[in-house]
């Protein structure tokens, strides 16, 4: 089995990747390698933050690793909240406040085009590789649904008439930014 650290302690993300990666890989969380540090995400781009997290693990633990970072990019807001999605309305990481801020900023805006983008940085033997996944859609005028997390209630993916928060997790994962980026990562890992 090939050991690979996923630089996260998010149980949902770990479960998601373990389910699809197959038995060739032993995926370890940060906790499982004894890393308790909250690695600071100080870059101004998703690529930078994903790189900081996986580089931290490789440099300090000598283990092959990957990390992800996601942002909601809204066209009329010049790509904001982007890399600042988690803390758009302040350091509290409050999803409701973040959504309220977006809805308020788009109040009189006809262009509601947006996309979620995930970037994964994989480091194998010190060499970095990036994989991305995008889902395009629109920002609704109000919140719909109570599934999912983050901006899901105000994001409607292209080709659907419901928000992400009204979709089952399985249906969302099939078309989501993270699902698509993970798929590219897995295709690559299968070649190893
Ligand atoms: P992270 O990089 O996965 O931690 O994501 C950063 C932020 O982007 C989260 O705190 C959420 O606000 C938002 N986000 C990421 N993925 C999703 C998603 O699938 N749905 C809604 N919001 C998301």
> Does any ligand 1 atom lie closer than 6 A to the CB of residue 133?
no
Q: Convert the pLDDT of each residue in 39-50 to its tens digit.
A: 999 999 999 999
* pLDDT for the residue numbered 13: 85
CA 116 to centroid of ligand 1, rounded, Å: 8
pLDDT digits (tens, 9 = 90+) for 121-140: 999 999 999 999 999 999 99
pLDDT at 58: 97
- Note every long-range contact of 53-58, with CB atoms under 8 Å and residues 24 or more positions apart, other chains counting: 53/7, 53/121, 54/7, 54/121, 54/122, 54/123, 54/128, 55/121, 55/123, 55/128, 56/7, 57/5, 57/7, 57/30, 57/33, 57/123, 58/123, 58/126
Cβ neighbours around 33 below 10 Å, total: 15
105 CA → ligand 1 middle, Å: 19
Query: Is position 44 annotated as part of the catalytic site?
Result: no
* Spatial contact of 30 and 53, defined as CB atoms under 8 Å apart: no
**CA count, 13 A, side-chain hemisphere, 21:** 23
Contact 69 CB / ligand 1 (< 6 Å): yes
pTM, full prediction: 0.94
Cα 84 to middle of ligand 1, angstroms: 10
Q: Does residue 16's CB lie within 6 angstroms of at least one atom of ligand 1?
A: no
64-114 tens-digit pLDDT? 999 999 999 999 999 999 999 999 999 998 999 999 999 999 999 999 999
Sign of CA dihedral 133, 101, 8, 43: positive
Residue 148 in contact with ligand 1 by CB distance below 6 A: yes
| pLDDT number for residue 18 | 84
Q: What is the pLDDT averaged over residues 14-32?
A: 88
Q: How far apart are the first and last CA of the chain?
A: 12
Per-residue model confidence (pLDDT) at position 168: 93
């Amino acid at each position: 089995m090939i050991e690979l650290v996923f630089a996260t302690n998010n149980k949902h993300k770990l479960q998601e990747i373990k389910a699809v990666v197959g038995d060739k890989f032993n995926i370890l969380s940060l906790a499982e390698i004894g890393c308790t540090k909250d690695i600071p995400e100080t870059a101004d781009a998703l690529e930078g933050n994903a790189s900081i997290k996986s580089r931290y693990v490789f440099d300090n633990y000598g283990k092959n690793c990957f990390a992800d970072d996601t942002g909601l990019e809204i066209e009329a807001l010049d790509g904001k909240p982007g890399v600042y999605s988690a803390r758009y309305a302040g350091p509290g990481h409050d999803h409701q406040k973040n959504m309220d801020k977006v809805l308020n900023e788009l109040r009189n805006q006809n262009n509601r085009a947006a996309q979620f983008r995930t970037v994964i940085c994989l480091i194998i033997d010190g060499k970095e590789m990036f994989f991305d996944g995008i889902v395009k859609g629109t920002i609704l005028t109000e919140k719909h649904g109570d599934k999912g997390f983050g901006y899901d209630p105000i994001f409607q993916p292209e080709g659907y008439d419901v928000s992400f928060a009204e979709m089952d997790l399985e249906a969302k994962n099939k078309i989501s930014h993270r699902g698509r980026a993970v798929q590219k990562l897995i295709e690559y890992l299968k070649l190893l």
